[in-house]
Amino acid sequence: MRPLITALVDTYNHEPYIEHALVSVLEQGLSPAELEVVVVDDGSTDNTSEIIKKFTPRVKHFRKANGGQASAFNVGFAETHGEIVATLDGDDWWAKGKLNSVVNALEANADVGAVSHGYYEFHEDAQQVKLCVPPDARILTIDTPNAIHEALVTWPYLLMGALTLRRRVMEWIMPIPEEMVFMADSALQCAAMVMGTLVLKEPLFYYRYHAGNLYAVDTKDTAKMRRRSDMTELVYSQLYRRLLELGVPQEKVDALLYPNWVAVKRFSLGTFGGSRWKAFRTEMQAFHSEYRRPSPGYSFFKYAIVGASTLLLPPRWFYYMRGQYSKRELGRLRDRLWKAEVTVSK
């Protein structure tokens, strides 16, 4: 007998989509003895809850006050019993055979904590489908600097709908800080990478782009972009603290989180503005995470020129100038003047 699998579905105001999502779960061809389905409705104000009720008792339906994705995960996971937990957002859907594929992969790879895979993007407005797959199957870890680099490159394939985790991985990371109103799946993704994740090339779920997405938003919608940027910064801050609390070495946490964390801070400061002090701390954070043994000349460049510029210029101006500096490849001139790192003899 295979271990019990739980499909954990979180949903909020997904009236047009939730039935499609649940049908895709139930059509995986597994019996109630093999597959438990737990759906958490995060206080929907539309007809989502009534649609879910049509699937009970086959589907376990939990309705809660609106609190965001992290709170939905916390409530939902407490109601699960499976040794394997497959996640899905209520506006996406699984391809047929998805569960068999990921469970077979977990059974064949006892050393990994999770499995993920390629996917299809479905753009609702244009009714277009885009294939998104990694170049090959791979196992992600954070064991070495090279492994962390590979994890960062492959992180986009650890989406909800694609990610299936062993129960022990979720128990390790839960509960998720409930300030993560959305993007709470980032906590599950980090846990998966820490514990080792096999990423399959096969596309086994559909990610739906629509007007109600909280993360995949129109770049012309300034209000949504700012909300996403603010939430992303908060999520990285919470993840940083949580991973350190769980005993992940700081140098690994730095290498895993700083590249994207710095990128979103730069975007936010350059697009929406902010304090000069935040810009200074962001650039120094980037400098120290990228260079372990900076040369004295390069340290001078970063502090006396870059650092001073962040404190003298408004952030929007600084990041505009930084963009021009990068566009014109002026870093080559800098490299002629200052060697970036001290060479250490072996």
Q: Give the CA distances from residue 135 to residues 112, 139, 200, in Å, rounded to whole numbers and listed in that order.
A: 20, 13, 10
Give the mean model confidence (pLDDT) for residues 45-52. 97
DSSP 125-141: TTTEEEEE--SS-EEE-
pLDDT-wise least confident of 15-19, 93-97, 332-336? 332-336
Q: Which of 318, 332, 247, 334 is nearest to 281 (CA)?
A: 318
pLDDT digits (tens, 9 = 90+) for 113-165: 999 999 999 998 889 999 999 999 999 999 999 999 999 999 999 999 999 99
pLDDT digits (tens, 9 = 90+) for 176-191: 999 999 899 999 999 9
For the chain, which domains are there? 5-209 (3.90.550.10), 222-330 (no CATH)
Q: Which of 200, 164, 166 is nearest to 185 (CA)?
A: 164
Helices (H), 54-181: 69-78, 98-108, 145-154, 167-173
Helices (H), the chain: 18-26, 48-53, 69-78, 98-108, 145-154, 167-173, 185-195, 222-245, 250-272, 276-290, 296-300, 308-312, 315-327, 331-337
Q: Give the CA distances from residue 277 to residues 109, 284, 300, in Å, rounded to whole numbers and listed in that order.
A: 47, 11, 18
d(CA 156, CA 36): 27
d(CA 163, CA 99): 11
What value does the CA radius of gyration of the chain take, rounded to a whole number of Å?
22
d(CA 178, CA 175): 8
More confident residue, 61 or 302: 61
